[in-house]
Structure 1
Amino acid sequence: MSKAKSGMGESTIALNKKAKFDYFLTDRYEAGIVLEGWEVKSLRAGKAQLTDAHILLKNGEAFMIGGQINPLLQASTHIRPDNTRIRKLLLNRRELNHLIGAVERKGFTVVPTAMYWKNGRAKLEIALAQGKKDHDKRASLKERDWQRDKQRILRTSS
């Protein structure tokens, strides 16, 4: 049985590539997610999207807003699934205090970067982030293009 099927080990459900382009990412944290049954089934089928998601810190708790988990067609008829509902994140108090302090005092924001399975449980990787300016984004594009060209040159020369 593969690692993903056995529930042991880690496998990626969704990535937020836009976060790395739009923000400078610093500290990363692993958070649990409060999910309903149909959401877990949809995650196992890979129907999650994090591109428009962000994290809200309110009353000493963290919530994910805008992350989409699309329901399966086989979802039960008596459940009315909401694919963009607000989902609570599970962090310990010390991590929450650090995040709240960075957001309130230093002007950081918190963004989700990845969703994955860990020991059969869905986890969300979140990161403290600072927004990039347009010239920083151009530098990121230039660096990415250079890396791609460098790989192409190495491939053709060998």
Structure 2
Amino acid sequence: MTTILENRQARHLYSIEESLEAGLVLEGWEVKAILAGRANFNGGGAFIRMSGGEAWLEAMTITPLPMANKGLLSPLEPARARKLLLRSAELTKLSRKVAERGYTVVPLEVVRGRKLKLKIGLAKGKNKADKRETIKERDMNREMQRELSRYD
């Protein structure tokens, strides 16, 4: 599967405990726009709202292609809520975890196989110390790789 869109802020702001793959209910112009690279997670501001036994992707903007609204009767909504397709067991599991303190569900990336899918993660927020620790580990790993490549 090919990654089309990635939410880098999600991995910085949250520690991801579990990830799932969900289908997206999209219109035709939205699929074309995503494949053309005209979608974003609004700087990490996109989130998943659980309500009424359903999951909804909020605050993800898909900018329509210039020719997308020709001949349409209704105007296009770039920032509308999009329904996620999950199994009922996955929905109940996520709803229970979100009800606990500190847990949330965040979009991680949009991937393309035969259809567009959204990888979502059950996440817990990081505090400043955790964020600094993650940055420190990443820098140390980068430095180790640099040293190892010098001797190869």
After TM superposition, the score normalised by the length of structure 2 is: 0.91
CA RMSD of aligned residues (A): 1.3
Whether contact under 8 Å (1:13, 1:48) holds in the other structure is: no
Q: Give distance in 2, aligned partners of 1:13 and 1:63.
A: 20
Q: In the TM superposition, what is the alpha-carbon distance from 1:11 to its structure 2 partner?
A: 1.4
Whether contact under 8 Å (1:63, 1:86) holds in the other structure is: yes
1:84 aligns with 2:79: yes
Q: Deviations over 1:113-138 (max 9, x none)?
A: 0111122x110011100000000000
Q: In the TM superposition, what is the alpha-carbon distance from 1:139 to its structure 2 partner?
A: 0.4
1:43 aligns with 2:38: no
| Identical pairs, percent | 41
Residue in structure 2 matching 1:112, options 85, 107, 111 = 107
1:58 aligns with 2:61: no
Runs of 4+ in structure 1 off by over 3 angstroms are none
More moved, 83-92 vs 41-50: 41-50
Q: In the TM superposition, what is the alpha-carbon distance from 1:156 to its structure 2 partner?
A: 2.4
Q: Give distance in 2, aligned partners of 1:131 and 1:35.
A: 29
Gaps of 5+ in 1: 1-9
1:25 aligns with 2:20: no
Q: In the TM superposition, what is the alpha-carbon distance from 1:155 to its structure 2 partner?
A: 2.2
Q: Give distance in 1, aligned partners of 2:104 and 2:71.
A: 37
Size of the aligned set, in residue pairs, is: 148
Q: In the TM superposition, what is the alpha-carbon distance from 1:106 to its structure 2 partner?
A: 4.7
Partner of 2:125: 131
Q: Give distance in 1, aligned partners of 2:102 and 2:131.
A: 19
Gaps of 5+ in 2: none
Q: Give distance in 1, aligned partners of 2:6 and 2:40.
A: 8
Secondary structure, in 3 states, of the residue corresponding to 1:62?
strand
**AA aligned opposite 1:17:** R
After TM superposition, the score normalised by the length of structure 1 is: 0.88
Whether contact under 8 Å (2:6, 2:108) holds in the other structure is: yes
